[in-house]
């Protein structure tokens, strides 16, 4: 978007999401996960379960914005799309390889390395959505996304897809194609959280974000944008919760009801921020989140690597045992460690933000 028409609310929400991802990933780094920031163990929904799908929804909006400058012509855009998708996937693999090598001391151990993950899912879903945007009429995006969710739901129904067991069709496909040694926790939880079949509804998540991006950029008035997002978000949220009676909310399975609920919350959150920031012009006081929104992927990758290294080097344990636990107790002390870790990355991001350095793929 041009500087004149850029929605500050979009950058702020992206920053809130990245800050949430960093906080959630490190809330239990000292062995006492802070309860409000824990993922649901299986069925159910917690605030921690929202941050990743919200980022994917926002990625859909960003995909529309980035491809619009090419007028959705495939020749100038296809190469950049494929390059970015592959780089996102490879960065995710490299992150896991580096941490595993540091932990084991073996730099050529590929036998137990997890193949899929957060960055890999972002790369796949971005690539599929962006390529579809070049060849599929955009008015058909929402029907296609809903068909993907319906097809995935039917697949779950016929394939024991809601059970946490090795007979789950998602577990069968993941273990057969990837091998249990290349899955999350070597397959001990049966289902890979960023697995093969669950990528189908994840693509639908990004496509719904794309549809919302097209709608809000097609409207010049921020009030109209806000109203559209409120209506869409409310519809998705209520539809998702009604659907959850037949299709449980489940992040590990990325169930269709989970997609609808999280897309609804994301749309409502963006609508609220548009009202406060862009309609009411309350633009001051958002710098903390702007910093994370300016370099989201860089700060996420850095937080993952340093989070694991601090654990391996004993930094997190030492800080917790000597200062945080005596002051705040076990669980709130663990939460305060996550806050300090988040603040460290904010400081690094703030330097880049002030120097106008934006690290992008």
Average the pLDDT over 169-190 and give the result: 87
Calpha distance 145→125 (Å, rounded): 12
Tokens 């950049």 belong to 80
Residues 212 and 136 in one domain: yes
Q: Tell whether 166 is covered by a domain.
A: yes
249 and 350 both lie in a single domain? no
pLDDT of residue 180: 86
Same domain, 107 and 67: yes
pLDDT of residue 108: 80
Q: Would 271 be classed as within a structural domain?
A: yes
Confidence class of residue 2 from pLDDT cuts 50, 70 and 90? very low
Q: For the segment 263-276, what is each residue's pLDDT rounded down to a tens digit?
A: 999 999 999 999 99
* CB distance 167 to 191 below 8 Å: no
Q: Is the pLDDT of residue 302 over 60?
A: yes
Q: Note whether 304 and 253 are same-domain residues.
A: no
* DSSP alpha helix (H) spans, 244-360: 256-273, 287-294, 296-313, 315-319, 325-328, 330-354
pLDDT of 32-51, one tens digit each?
Answer: 777 778 888 889 898 889 99
Is pLDDT at 231 greater than 90 in this prediction? yes
pLDDT mean across residues, the chain: 90
301 found inside a domain: yes
The half-sphere exposure of 127 on its side-chain side, counting CA atoms within 13 A, is 17
- Identify the domain boundary among 282, 305, 330: 282
pLDDT for 212-228, tens place per residue? 999 998 888 888 999 99
* Residue 281, Ramachandran bin (φ over 0: left; ψ between -120 and 50: alpha; else beta): left
Q: Would you state the pLDDT for residue 343?
A: 95
37 in Cβ contact with 338 (< 8 Å): yes
Cβ proximity of 334 and 32 under 8 Å = yes
Residues 30 and 67 in one domain: no
- If asked whether residues 63 and 145 sit together in one domain, one would say yes
The answer to whether 166 touches 190, Cβ cutoff 8 Å, is yes
Residues in the chain: 361
For position 179, what pLDDT does the model report?
87
Pick the most confident of 183-197, 272-286, 291-305.
291-305
Question: In this predicted model, what pLDDT tens digit does every residue of 111-168 receive, in sequence order?
Answer: 878 899 999 999 999 999 999 999 999 999 999 999 999 999 999 999 998 988 888 9
Q: 233 and 338 share a domain?
A: no
pLDDT band, very low/low/confident/very high, at 6 (cuts 50, 70, 90): low
Alpha-carbon span 300 to 148, nearest angstrom: 29
Residue 86 sits in the same domain as residue 205 = yes
- Note whether residue 258 is domain-resident: yes
Name the CA radius of gyration of the chain, rounded.
20
* Whether the Cβ atoms of residue 164 and residue 192 lie closer than 8 Å to each other: no
Percent of the chain at pLDDT above 90? 63
Which residues have a Cβ under 8 Å from the Cβ of 25 and sit 6 or more positions away?
303, 304, 307
Q: Which of 261, 282, 303 is the last residue of a domain?
A: 282
- Residue 81 included in any domain: yes
Q: How far apart are CA 251 and CA 44, in angstroms?
A: 8
Question: Would the pLDDT of 345 be above 80?
Answer: yes
pLDDT of residue 3: 38
Is residue 44 in some structural domain?
no
CB half-sphere exposure, 21, CA atoms < 13 A: 26
What's the domain range around 303? 1-38+283-361
Residue indicated by tokens 């060849």: 135
Find out whether 15 and 8 touch, Cβ atoms under 8 Å. no
- Report the distance separating Cα 14 and Cα 294, nearest Å: 9
Structure tokens at 45: 């929904």
**148 and 270 both lie in a single domain:** yes
Tell me: the pLDDT tens digits for 53-102?
A: 999 999 999 999 999 988 899 889 999 999 999 999 999 999 999 988 88
Same domain, residue pair 197 and 116: yes
Domain boundary among 252, 282, 312: 282
Within 10 angstroms of residue 354's Cβ, the number of other Cβ atoms is 10
Backbone angles phi, psi at 250, to 5 degrees: -155, 115
- Alpha-helix runs per DSSP H in 105-243: 118-135, 141-158, 169-177, 199-217, 222-243
For residue 45, tell me if it sits in a domain: no
* Number of domains the chain is built from: 2
CA distance 304 to 91: 12
Regarding whether 290 and 143 lie in a shared domain, the answer is: no
Residue at 11 is within a domain: yes
Examine the domain organization and report whether 199 and 327 are in the same domain. Answer: no
Q: Would you give the DSSP letter of residue 274?
A: I
> pTM, whole model, 2 decimals?
0.92
């Amino acid at each position: 978007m041009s500087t004149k028409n850029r929605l500050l609310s979009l950058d702020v929400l992206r920053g809130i999401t990245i800050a949430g991802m960093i906080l959630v990933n490190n809330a239990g780094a000292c062995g006492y996960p802070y309860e409000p920031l824990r993922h649901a163990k299986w069925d159910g929904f917690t605030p921690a379960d929202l941050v990743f799908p919200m980022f994917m929804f926002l990625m859909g909006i960003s995909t529309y914005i980035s491809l619009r400058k090419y007028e959705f012509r495939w020749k100038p855009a296809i190469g950049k799309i494929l390059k970015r998708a592959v780089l996102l996937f490879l960065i995710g693999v490299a992150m896991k390889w580096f941490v595993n090598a540091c932990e084991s001391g073996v730099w050529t151990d590929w036998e137990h390395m997890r193949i899929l993950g957060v960055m890999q899912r972002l790369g796949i879903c971005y690539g599929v959505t962006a390529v579809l945007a070049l060849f599929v009429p955009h008015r058909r995006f929402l029907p296609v996304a809903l068909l993907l969710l319906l097809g995935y739901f039917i697949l779950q129904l016929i394939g024991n897809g809601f059970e946490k067991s090795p007979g789950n069709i998602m577990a069968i496909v993941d273990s057969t194609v990837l091998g249990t040694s290349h899955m999350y926790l070597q397959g001990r939880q049966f289902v890979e959280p960023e697995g093969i079949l669950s990528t189908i509804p994840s693509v639908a998540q990004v496509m719904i974000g794309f549809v919302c991006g097209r709608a809000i950029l097609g409207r010049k008035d921020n009030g109209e944008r806000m109203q559209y997002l409120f209506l869409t978000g409310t519809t998705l949220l209520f539809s998702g919760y009604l659907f959850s009676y037949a299709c449980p909310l489940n992040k590990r399975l990325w169930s269709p009801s989970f997609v609808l609920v999280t897309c609804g919350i994301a749309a409502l959150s963006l609508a609220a921020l548009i009202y406060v920031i862009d309609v009411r012009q309350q633009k001051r006081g958002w710098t903390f989140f702007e910093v994370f929104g300016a370099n989201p992927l860089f700060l996420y990758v850095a937080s993952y690597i340093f989070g694991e290294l601090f654990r391996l080097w004993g930094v997190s344990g030492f800080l917790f045992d000597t200062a945080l636990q005596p002051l705040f107790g076990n669980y709130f002390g663990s939460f305060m460690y996550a806050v300090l870790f988040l603040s460290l990355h904010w400081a690094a991001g703030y330097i880049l933000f002030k120097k106008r350095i934006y690290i992008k793929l």
